[in-house]
Amino acid sequence: MSRTRIIPVLLLKNGGLYKTIKFKSATYVGDPINTVKIFNEKEADELVVLDFNASAENRAIDLKKIAEIAGEAFMPMAYGGGIKSMDDARKVFDAGYEKVVLNSILFDKPDIIESIGSVYGAQAIVAAIDVKKNFLGKYKVYSHSGTKSTGYSPVEWARKLEGAGAGEILVNSIDQDGTWAGYNVDLVESIAHQINIPLIACGGAGNTEDLKNAVAAGASAVAAGSMFVYQKKGMGVLISFPTGLKI
């Protein structure tokens, strides 16, 4: 059995590295290039780079910056944010990324998955799902950095994305994001048992036990932001990675 992937998630804004809490309160934490160099040394499995407000702000991809980031990386890279067309995806791959992360565009152009997959393969497509509870306490999928409710349930949308040809699903709990409170394992479990492609859990990790809990709930890989860029909750920036951890 292959070792579970542990994936740092880097959030970009105006070329800098930021971290959010519940998709809000973005705080500057440093330079993404230096951060990638540290993850090289710590032998991270792969990295996900997200320009997290690109779609909500209708911004184009900063191809110069993301190419610069990819040029420093020794591990596989995935990029998401502002990808609106097959041409955008091609430019991301040409910039040095092995995968594209698609989110908001999938609600308007679900066929983009088939277009990209026909050229680069399903394994190159990560479909991201941002989830939070609505006022009725039900889990719903949101787009555009958590600002627009889509009406879909997480399981319903995950199944649609799998059927459209996505290679893996990244589910991010908006309510857990940046809280250090642990993954929403109920959410992870509910999706993992309904799809047949890898599921990456994201949102809320604060320690290695949280990573293990997500895997026990059915996640094929675990992703985190705060846990890998801060010393601990409420303390300063310290890039880290659990080298050698097997889960």
88 catalytic? Reply is no
Which listed residue (31, 94, 108, 130) is catalytic?
Answer: 130
Q: Are 199 and 169 in contact (CB under 8 A)?
A: yes
Kindly give the residue spans of alpha helices, DSSP state H, lying in 54-207: 63-72, 86-94, 112-120, 154-164, 185-192
CA 63 to mean position of chain CA atoms? 19
Our CA dihedral for 41, 42, 44, 50, rounded to 10 degrees, sits at -70
Q: CA 70, 74, 76 angle in degrees (round to 5)?
A: 70
β-bridge partners, 100: 79, 125
Active site residues: 130
